[in-house]
Amino acid sequence: MVDYKNPTIQIFSWYRTIKGANAVKQLLAQVKHIGCNVEKVNQINENVIGVSPIVAAIKTLDESFLVSFEFEGLKEAYDVIECTEKRLKTVGLEIKYETEFDAQQRLTQHQVDVVLLIPKLTKQAIIETARSGKIFAHKVSRHIIPARSMRVCVPLNLLKNNRSLSEINEMLKSMLQKKRFKRIPSGSVFEGRRYEEDLYVFEE
């Protein structure tokens, strides 16, 4: 349990990267097919992404586009992105999820052919959507915290039973003291994902 409003907990995005000779043509075709408008621009202002009607942006080495679709909230914006992803997969394109920095680097280094830039969520939007009972699409938020524990493996019954927070913490402490852990510095790739915080990986 954490204080979610603490400024040390930050939220970023997962940009989508696509590789393929016809990737940008397919992406443009699919967003248009679901009713989006596409405008070619000289450069992308990432701050407008997620402000209706700008639902996303598309970037290649040579071209940039803004994708517009009237939406009321970020949940609806991400539904459009999820629909686009599903359509791209049906035509055989593989989508990968990268940090904003890694996506731009891979594009510059010719490792991918197109990047789909998506809106950045706010904590308030996440809280409001969760309380409404709605669910965001897959891979919409990337949380960065001061340090992240990995492979803790907490039994669900420890959290479900009617125990006090102090009791749960003591039980968790006892569990973790029986394990070894190693520290992996921030910026490392672990199990295929880059983490921008220190990792503490617990082992049996």
pLDDT band per the 50, 70, 90 thresholds, residue 9: very high
Read off the pLDDT of residues 106-115 as tens digits, 9 standing for 90 and up: 999 999 999 9
Q: CATH number for the domain including 49?
A: 3.30.1760.10
- Check: CB of residue 11 under 8 Å from CB of residue 127: no
- pLDDT for position 136: 86
* 122 and 187 both lie in a single domain: no
Torsion-angle region of 92 (φ positive above 0: left; ψ -120 to 50: alpha; else: beta): left
Query: What share of the chain in percent tops pLDDT 70?
Result: 100
| Among candidate residues 95, 121, 143, the one where a domain is terminated | 143
| Among candidate residues 113, 143, 173, the one where a domain is terminated | 143
* 159 and 137 both lie in a single domain: no
Model pTM score: 0.83
- pLDDT for position 192: 84
Residue 68 resides in a domain: yes
Read off the pLDDT of residues 42-79 as tens digits, 9 standing for 90 and up: 999 999 999 999 999 999 999 999 999 999 888 899 99
* 97 and 180 both lie in a single domain: no
- pLDDT for position 138: 82
- Check: CB of residue 54 under 8 Å from CB of residue 48: yes
Residue 4 resides in a domain: no
Query: What share of the chain in percent tops pLDDT 90?
Result: 67
* 86 and 152 both lie in a single domain: no
Question: Cα torsion for 96, 98, 102, 103, to the nearest 10°?
Answer: 60
Residue 2 resides in a domain: no
Residues whose CB falls within 8 Å of the CB of residue 2, separated by 6 or more in sequence, listed in order: 9, 145
In the predicted structure, residue 1 carries a pLDDT above the cut 80: no
For residue 203, the one-letter residue type is E
CA 150 to each of CA 34, 64, 197, 203: distance values in angstroms, whole numbers, following the listed order: 39, 38, 12, 9
Read off the pLDDT of residues 137-158 as tens digits, 9 standing for 90 and up: 888 899 999 999 999 988 888 8
- How many domains does the chain fold into? 2
